[in-house]
Chain A
Amino acid sequence: MNSAVVISGAHYRIVHDTHYHYSAPVSLAQQLAHLWPRESPWQRCRSRQLSVSPEPTRRVDGLDVFGNPLTRLAFERPHDELKVCARLDVAVLPRPALQLADSPAWERVRLELSYSGKRLGVEELEAARFRFESPYVNLKQNFVAWADDCFVPGRPLLLAVQALMAKIFSEFTYDAAATQVATPLAQVLEEKRGVCQDFAHLMLACLRSRGLAARYVSGYLLTQPPAGKPRLIGADASHAWIAVWCPQLGWVDFDPTNNLIPALEHITLAWGRDFGDVSPLRGVILGGGSHDPEVSVTVMPLEEALARGV
């Protein structure tokens, strides 16, 4: 972490455009959008705009079951394309400093999470939601075995998780061509290639297979343009990482794609059990033939955006 930046917080403008071109008219469509950043003690959304074309016949803004802002869109008139453009101004604040070594041993956390008939507090009940298999994260003994060297007996939980993050980072190759959303985790583990989503799902599988509670976080990451070159518009992408639950400390984020603990450069959109709960945009259409989506994402410091008129 770059401690020089941490002090004051950071302000960003994010532009996230999604464009579906349908080869045949769509007569009826329903879309779910997770495109409004959730509020948290370390994040404020200063302004948000979601423009949708064609005009939906129904739009309802609310929260999903995990507390994320969710926009439901329905289109009941024939259309050939769909454009959803999100324009967000977000302030990210520093989080309290963490001493990873102060966390309890991982076995103790596991035991604490398992059922014993005792009463559960709100936080423990919340953690219990993220301990199990979910559509994109299947639990297997393989994942336990593969991460055994990180979870040596008695190791503080957060150090063990950090070691797991580092292991994924060092053993896996980032390769956008290697996987799709539906690539099974076992294959990701075998081929050791993937993208942020795969690494996040894999890390979740390793933690949950071991009986720990961990959730998927969807958001953005500020990237730096090559030295001396201007930032390209639309060259960024959605990002994903994970958070693990630790008694007393609460949820702690880890980014296995970059081997770092997210701070001021990670902007959180939503969290859930896995990608399926929080994908920025998904839907069901009637008709449409084949469709070919285009996505462009730009994340830049707000000052720069204002200066460049983005």
Chain B
Amino acid sequence: MSDLLADYPRNAAAYHELLDAKGAVRPHWRQLLAHLQRCSPAQLRQRQALLARQIQENGVTYNVYAEPDGADRPWELDLLPNIIPAEEWAELAAGVAQRATLLNAVLADIYGPQQLLAEGLLPSDLVFGHDNYLWPCQGLQPPGGTWLHVYAVDLARSPDGRWWVTADRTQAPSGAGYALENRQIVSRAFPELYRDLRVQYLAGYFRTLQDTLARQAPSDGETPLVVLLTPGRFNETYFEHLYLARQLGYPLVEGSDLTVRDSTVYLKTLGGLKRVHALLRRLDDDFCDPLELRTDSALGVPGLLDAVRQGRVLVANALGSGVLESPGLPGFLPLICERLLGAELQLPSIASWWCGEPPVLEEALEKLPELLIRAAFPSQHFAPQFGPELDAGQRAALAERLRQRPYAYVGQERPLLSQAPIWQAESGRLEARPIGMRVFAVAGPDGYRVMPGGLTRVAASASARTLSMQWGGASKDTWVLGERHIGSEPWQWGRVLGVGDVVRSDPYLPSRVVENLFWFGRYCERCEGGARLLRILLARYVDDDDDPQALNAALTVAETLGLLPPVGDEDASLETRLLQAVLAKDWPASLYVALQHLQWAAASVRGKLSRENWQALVELHKEAQGLDSEEADPGALLEFLDRLLMSMAALSGFALDDMTRDDGWRFLMIGRRIERLQFLAESIADFVAGPAAQDQSALAWLLELGNSSITYRTRYLAAPQLIPVLDLLVLDAQNPHAVLFQLRSLLRSLASLGERFELSEEAGLQSLTARLAAFDLGPLEYNPLASAGSTAVLAVLAAQLLEVAAAAGQLSDHLGLRFFVHVDASQQTQSL
């Protein structure tokens, strides 16, 4: 292959990871470069494609901004790793471990004796002024004296090759999961190279985390249950929460899945409350407990802080650790390090000017045109401002702001970023991009252990000066060379599992997840039923030579079921109403809204759905998003409904063949059956009570509604007639779209809940089933025309069907009361 480096820039202003000062390839890159030289561009493109496909398939995403309609963006990962030689890494890792030790000691001091404040080594402003200094945590003593169980540090490399700290992440550091995911993907793209270079493994980091949490959790002799607490699926790193929970084997829970009783934290599962001994949290400090911390937080667990105070639960990182993320802090660390550790701070921070000290403020104002000005505290909602990008007026305004509340601002030198090669598929060459690195440390039994690797972040363009996944940057795997440590082998279970260890159901399935599966089931059916009915209407509306009585009957059913917007004052045309019924975002019963509810329910049970199932949902979502309500015409809508019904069929296939038969699945199926029963029973009741009950063309669409046209045709080889149609759609115990079939299946599903659900109390449903099974269509024979007699028989049938629908609705309420009542939301009482 031609020279990969033909276009590679060799500017001396930045450090090049790949090239030394003379432009020669650094020794630790030679093997990778030689390997790339041997590959053809096509081979590399193929690997790049493989990598992209794996990201897609694994569902790796980064939510750019938390929007309900889910702005997930695929994770950006470059084909080439960044490589760091062993000896360089050893020095860096020692610095990171020291910094973690130091920051842990600082937390112990500011939540304890506050010597650093009294001695003037740390301004009280940076502690008491910070909204993540959690006052009620003062005096708390976490198990083992560990405040920081995990720590991450953002690093940038200056032209002389030194690494500088640009930020400390002490609250709930993100990125370790992405680093592991990156490794799994990139190591597969270069398997031989990965082996030959002896790249250090990452898994030891995660194993240490598991060990530490298990060791420090106050377990009172029980096997500790550790959960991963997430703010939920709107968080930008939700994918990572899911991924880590799966890797670490921890249930992924939201605040409302937990409850505190008698200062003890419990997980609400379908089988009752299960004690939680430790929480690995991805929720911000002040949101964790609405009782004692931010009272407006709906994400936290009321009483959590008291459970911590009583030593009944471990929270990692300790509550209140976010206070150390202030950019004002690093400037004070060198002296604090000498005071607390009796040693020199090994890893320097980029220069900063905390303006709370009058002489420092003056200096910062003087250097304003060069500095990056940042808020010292997150509560300020002040976006960082770059001095060089401001005009004179803006600069003066900023200076005024600093003078007014100096302690709330920090000036920072802008980090100089090193350059690393990325592979460009278009040119088939390497290009240089600015990079930074996030490195992770975890508390072990004998001090902090640093993950040998990390998340290398790549700037969006060659000239960019900031790194942010939010702003469109990409990432790289980080290969640290050197001896592989024993115990750091890739993921594997610690012990051999025997017959006695076999687990057949998830004992920690949160009730909320089960409830969402139930609603997921209901919305699947709701979308399917609605789509069928609307497709019938649209198709008949489009071929308007059809029987108007049949169309009218379908319209009446849709109106009775509330699936068609009522004719308003403006006398909207049928076409407009149909468009609205499918696409209106602001009409609560539209198919669009039902699909949205389906997405929401699905997103909150994503951990329970297979990758393929999730992919099908994503496609469905894209499809619905792609329809423009302004442009759509009935033809386009019909096509959309066809595709939608295909997707719904796929989902129902997943439900039947892709999920283990645990409680979650049972409730999903119960939800589906309840919804289908209500839909079928109400539609047929309305139909038989109407004037078109004997109309062939109307009966044809009724079969379509019950997805039974083909069965009917093969059985009868004749045009639809009332008695066989009703038999097929109501009484046929073999037809999954028959009312009786669904009733019996529902009763069976309920029975499978066993003693947890008092089936005998659903006597109404059982007697309705018996009555319906005994319903005799015979009397309709003698009244082939719509005489008074057959009308009366049909009225009885309609009434029974409506009873079935009502009983299904009541059952839904009973299930809610029995199983989900503690899923209720907490609220604040009015403070007085």
Contact = CB atoms under 8 A, between A and B. Distances in A.
A129 B125 CA distance: 8
B138 A291 contact: no
Nearest to B289: A284
Contacts of A128: 117, 124-125, 128
Contacts of A287: 824
Interface stretch (B69-77, B256-264, B538-546): B256-264
B829 A291 contact: yes
Contacts of A57: 262
Chain B at the A interface: mostly helix, strand, loop or mixed?
loop
Nearest to A19: B832
Interface string A55-67: 0011000001110
Interface stretch (B57-65, B290-298, B494-502, B631-639): B290-298
A287 to B, nearest CB: 6
B404 A141 contact: yes
Using C-beta atoms within 8 Å of the partner chain, give the interface range for chain A: 35 or more
Contact of A281 (B138, B290, B303, B832): B832
Most buried by B among A29, A279, A283, A291: A283
B356 interface: yes
Given A284-B826, A293-B830, A118 B407 contact: no
A307 interface: no
B120 A114 contact: no
A258 interface: no
Nearest to A290: B827
A285 B826 contact: yes
Interface residues of B, number: 47
B831 A284 contact: no
B61 to A, nearest CB: 33
A118 B122 CA distance: 10
A125 B117 contact: yes
B290 A284 contact: yes
A95 interface: no
Interface string A38-79: 000000000000000000011000001110000010101000
A145 to B, nearest CB: 10
B261 A28 contact: yes
B128 A132 contact: yes
Given A30-B291, A139-B405, A277-B135, A125 B358 contact: no
Contact of A30 (B303, B356, B832): B303
B358 A279 contact: no
A280 interface: yes
Interface string B478-521: 00000000000000000000000000000000000000000000
B43 to A, nearest CB: 58
Interface in A87-113: none
Contact of B829 (A76, A116, A120, A293): A293
B831 A286 contact: no
B357 interface: yes
A119 interface: yes
B292 A32 contact: yes
B119 A119 contact: yes
Given A27-B822, A115-B356, A144 B114 contact: no
B379 interface: yes
B125 A132 contact: yes
A70 B129 CA distance: 24
Contacts of B832: 18, 238, 279-282, 293, 295
30 contacts: A28-B259, A30-B302, A30-B306, A31-B829, A32-B292, A65-B136, A65-B138, A114-B358, A115-B357, A128-B117, A131-B129, A132-B128, A132-B129, A135-B295, A141-B404, A209-B405, A238-B832, A276-B831, A280-B832, A282-B828, A282-B832, A283-B828, A283-B829, A284-B827, A285-B827, A286-B259, A286-B822, A287-B824, A288-B827, A295-B832
